[in-house]
Amino acid sequence: MAAYRPADRMVLPPVNAEKYQIVCHYCAVGCGYHVYKWPEGKAGGLLPDQNALGVDYTKQIAPLSGDWIAPAHHTVVTERDGQRYHIAIVPDKECVVNKGHHSARGGTLGSSLYRPDGPTHTRLTHPLVYRSTKQSPTTWDDAIDLTARVIYGSILRDGNDSIFMRVFDHGGGGGGFENNWAVGKFFFNAVQTINCGIHNRPAYNSEVHASRDMGVPEWNYAYVDAELTDTIVLWGTNSYEAQTNFYLVHMLPNLQGSTVKGKEAARPGEQVGPGRMIIIDPRRTSTVVVSEQAGGKERVLHLQLKPGTDIALANAIARVVYEREWHDKDFVANRVEAETVQPFLEQSLQIGKSLDEVLAEAENITGLSRAQIEQAASWIAETKSDGSRPRAIFLYEKGVIWGLKNYQNVGSIVNLALLTGNFGKPGTGCGRLGGHQEGYVRPAYRGPRPAPYIDDLLSQGQGNVFYVAGCNPAITTLNAQRMRETLQTRGKLVRDALDANFAADNATKAQAILEATRQGGLFIIVQDIYLTATAQYAHVVFPAAAWGESPITSINGERRLRLDEKFMDPPGIAEPDWKIFGMLAQRIKALAQADGNTDIVQRFSGFEWTTAEEVFLEGGASFADGVKASTERYKGVDYNFLKAAGNNGIQTPVTIVNGKPQGRVRYFENGEPFYTESGKAKMLPTPWPGFPAIVQEQINKYPYFLTNGRNNNWQTLYNDMNIPFFAERTPISFIEISPEDAKKEALQAGDLVRLFNDYGETTAYTVISTSVKPGMIFMLFAHPNTTANSLTTPYVDPEVIIPYYKGSAVGLQRIGRLADLDARLTYQPNNFEKVV
């Protein structure tokens, strides 16, 4: 039987409850919420003048109305002074992003908060240092001192690049402009290493180098554009689950025709009607099923291509558009660098071959029919009967970014958007849907492009120190079994050194650690809010303050900059990330001062921040003035301004007009130049490269193609494992397998299977689903106990060092059944289709 029983009654916030503005910290969409906080023992009443929401609770309240407070929205916290408060986190009806809606993640923000008397008591409360065979709680001074001595000693002996890092660079929880500026200043200005990774990839780079090289910043559209467009192209994304309220609140209404009035106003004189959607995904996802049900099958085209064949598909669609002369000739002539067009026509569109030849080849590569490819071209670009051009918005995410070849994957979609002139007008754009929110502000990275592939280097024994903050490479990096082996074996040498020197002081211990690094040891520091799978290998663990425990600012997928206020204390003695880097820098500076090392003193100066806003403003000031402003530029904005701007914030980049900050809705309007030297966009030659040898070898050897991704919970489930609603639903990872293959393998829904290949093994339970075709398995990717990354290969796009996370191959063996799962789970597929 299920153990989770939601409460059947709620304490309401009284009229005088404290109220804060906040944005959900999980995904890029960034829905607005209000936090209500009031002392335990107090309660509001049912009548509108008796509660803080001003709602009449004597009547039935509709879910997702913004007036409803569910048990999962609520918790009771204990502050550092011992006072206890109710907290309810309720979606904001006035926020234009979510209009009162919440996703499964946002709907559980309340229950994710730290409470010493609930499941989230597992939050880190104190720094931990490896001492006498285990990680032991200690003071900040002690943990910082040991860490500072090792980093300082390593820089002196082996140079800046002996320090490796893998740290968040995003907005939302575990990020924001404040913490990113601190990270950048620490690693790029002070440590000055080039051996850096980002939370979700093993090198310091962009997920969309191609788009930027083409002059197209990836955050160029606004959510309203999905309401105003004729055709929404969702490429390699499962938006219903991964960008839920952008999809539900802005995309679906367009398919259902309820945004037609807005279209008439924004696009005067054009023929408009309900929108359509093209979904390009090798799986029949919940997004496909929900779109078909809500918008009608005739408005949805699902191109269920063979995985890894996106480039061939994009090229073929573009070829049809070009052949039919549906492309935007004026746009291409005026806004694209002429010399980049011919190589695109030759290599991407293969104009040297006949259309029939090209389409036959594309059918063969993608597994789609010519009719489907032609229909996609027509929905994107066929001139309407009144002679007007249709508008399309191209939205892509991890099926493309972590696809077969990142650079050309992204480039081939941007090509299509350029060819069809879909920039700079309401209802157009081409960019990422997003992962976390954004919040990038840093001094320049010093390394080359392509940047070093740090997982490779670490596994080869390079580096003395590995600093991991706000991410979990033991489960989320590619070929993660190799990462865990590296952390295990190299980490042990340092543990042995510490065990051998238990009686010594920090200075001696630091020497012993540095000595161990000569023999291949690796000193591991993890800064997180939980004792993650990676933190279990750490010699030092720093406890960070989470969202809501210190102010942070971020932008969402339409560049909406907002302030998340602090509304509660961090657990124990945890501190915000920026402050931890500040403490560490100040300690290294003091060590260098004692040595008279003026170079290091100077590098580690300027970290004496006392408030989050100070860090925010310092980062903001680093944005250069001028027209070619970065997407994130917020110079001129402070916390007071953001408080007043509320949950709708301001859309970056910010410019100051008559002394007032001004944002913008979308890019490239009114002839705004593209971000190249010429001001014109570049097209990119994007021939389909075929499968890389490393991956092909697995495909040849193992029977099932393995892809992976998300569902309704939050990837590494760091909070979710403490929220019964999620933890009970996904106690371990699952696979989706087709009914045909399940039959072949004699698998029943719920069977525990072992998956394996040349890179590792893991387990999962079985869901039988029509989402995948025979020969393919989908796996939830980042469950802390059973990660799909034990099965991904070390392959990265060599041009940009971006992983091909989405493609591997596996063998499968049935292990048996788990009785406790049988008692609780239905094993129904996510796409709600009944399997017969």
Binding region for ligand MGD (CB under 6 A): 27, 105, 173-174, 199-200, 235-239, 241-242, 280-283, 285, 307-308, 310, 397-400, 402-403, 435-436, 469-472, 476, 527-530, 532, 544, 546, 577, 707-710, 712, 714-716, 718, 781-782, 788-789, 792, 805-806
Residue 706 binding target from Mo ion, ligand MGD, none, CB below 5 to 8 Å by type: none
**Cβ-closest position to Mo ion:** 435
> Binders of Mo ion among 543-602, rule CB under 5 A?
none
Pair of tokens at residue 194: 């080039």
Cβ distance to ligand MGD smaller for residue 27 or 612: 27
- For 473-492, letters b (16+ CB in 10 Å) and e give bbbbbbbbbbbbebbeebbb
HSE-up of 395 (CA within 13 Å, CB side)? 30
Residue 406 CA to residue 403 CA, distance in Å, equals 6
Q: For residue 170, give the DSSP letter.
A: B
Question: How near is the Cβ of 200 to Mo ion at its closest, in Å?
Answer: 5
The answer to whether 31 and 24 are in contact (CB under 8 A) is yes
Question: How near is the Cβ of 554 to Mo ion at its closest, in Å?
Answer: 14
Q: State which H helix or E strand residue 338 sits in.
A: helix 338-343
Residue 530 binding target from ligand MGD, Mo ion, none, CB below 5 to 8 Å by type: ligand MGD
Cβ distance to ligand MGD smaller for residue 235 or 537: 235
90-93-98 Cα angle (round to 5):
90
Residue 352 CA to residue 694 CA, distance in Å, equals 31
Question: How near is the Cβ of 197 to ligand MGD at its closest, in Å?
Answer: 11
Residue 29 CA to residue 99 CA, distance in Å, equals 12
> Does 731 sit near Mo ion (CB under 5 A)?
no
Residue 728 CA to residue 825 CA, distance in Å, equals 8
Number of neighbouring beta carbons within 10 Å of residue 502: 10
Pair of tokens at residue 370: 């010519």
Q: For residue 201, give the DSSP letter.
A: B
Residue 792 binding target from ligand MGD, Mo ion, none, CB below 5 to 8 Å by type: ligand MGD
**How many DSSP H helices and E strands does the chain contain?**
28, 29
The answer to whether 614 and 177 are in contact (CB under 8 A) is no
> Does 174 sit near Mo ion (CB under 5 A)?
no
The answer to whether 20 and 92 are in contact (CB under 8 A) is no
Task: Provide the mask over 130-149, with x wherever binding to Mo ion is found by CB under 5 A and - wherever it is not.
Answer: --------------------
Question: How near is the Cβ of 261 to ligand MGD at its closest, in Å?
Answer: 29
Residue 796 CA to residue 515 CA, distance in Å, equals 33
> Does 434 sit near Mo ion (CB under 5 A)?
no
Question: How near is the Cβ of 600 to ligand MGD at its closest, in Å?
Answer: 25
Residue 645 CA to residue 561 CA, distance in Å, equals 9
Question: How near is the Cβ of 437 to Mo ion at its closest, in Å?
Answer: 11
E strand residue ranges, 658-790: 660-662, 704-709, 734-737, 752-757, 760-768, 776-780
Question: How near is the Cβ of 240 to ligand MGD at its closest, in Å?
Answer: 9
Cβ distance to ligand MGD smaller for residue 331 or 718: 718
**3-class DSSP state for residue 134?**
strand
Residue 402 binding target from ligand MGD, Mo ion, none, CB below 5 to 8 Å by type: ligand MGD
Question: How near is the Cβ of 175 to Mo ion at its closest, in Å?
Answer: 11
Cα Rg, the chain, nearest whole Å: 27
Beta-carbon contacts of residue 539 (< 8 Å; ≥ 6 apart) = 129, 130, 491, 494, 495, 498, 513, 523, 524, 525
Residue 470 binding target from ligand MGD, Mo ion, none, CB below 5 to 8 Å by type: ligand MGD
Residue 34 binding target from ligand MGD, Mo ion, none, CB below 5 to 8 Å by type: none
Pairing label, strands 276-280, 231-235: parallel
Question: How near is the Cβ of 167 to ligand MGD at its closest, in Å?
Answer: 8
Beta-carbon contacts of residue 354 (< 8 Å; ≥ 6 apart) = none
Cβ distance to ligand MGD smaller for residue 191 or 242: 242
Cβ distance to Mo ion smaller for residue 197 or 435: 435
Residue 221 CA to residue 258 CA, distance in Å, equals 20
Cβ distance to Mo ion smaller for residue 200 or 259: 200
138-141's contacts with Cβ under 8 Å and 24+ in sequence apart are 140/573, 140/575, 140/583
Cβ distance to ligand MGD smaller for residue 403 or 619: 403
Cβ distance to ligand MGD smaller for residue 34 or 436: 436
Question: How near is the Cβ of 819 to ligand MGD at its closest, in Å?
Answer: 29
Binding window for Mo ion (CB under 5 A); candidates: 40-48, 200-208, 379-387, 689-697: 200-208
Question: How near is the Cβ of 480 to Mo ion at its closest, in Å?
Answer: 15
422-424-429 Cα angle (round to 5):
50
Alpha helices by DSSP H, 519-611: 577-595, 598-603
Cβ distance to Mo ion smaller for residue 68 or 778: 778
Cβ distance to ligand MGD smaller for residue 476 or 506: 476
Q: For residue 478, give the DSSP letter.
A: T
Residue 788 binding target from ligand MGD, Mo ion, none, CB below 5 to 8 Å by type: ligand MGD
Residue 781 binding target from Mo ion, ligand MGD, none, CB below 5 to 8 Å by type: ligand MGD
Which residue in the set 435, 548, 649, 784 belongs to the binding site for Mo ion (CB under 5 A)?
A: 435
Residue 135 binding target from Mo ion, ligand MGD, none, CB below 5 to 8 Å by type: none
Number of residues that bind Mo ion (CB under 5 A): 2
Question: How near is the Cβ of 709 to ligand MGD at its closest, in Å?
Answer: 2
Question: How near is the Cβ of 671 to ligand MGD at its closest, in Å?
Answer: 32
Residue 237 binding target from ligand MGD, Mo ion, none, CB below 5 to 8 Å by type: ligand MGD
Residue 289 CA to residue 252 CA, distance in Å, equals 12
Residue 546 binding target from ligand MGD, Mo ion, none, CB below 5 to 8 Å by type: ligand MGD
Residue 313 binding target from ligand MGD, Mo ion, none, CB below 5 to 8 Å by type: none
- Contacts with Mo ion by CB under 5 A lie at 200, 435
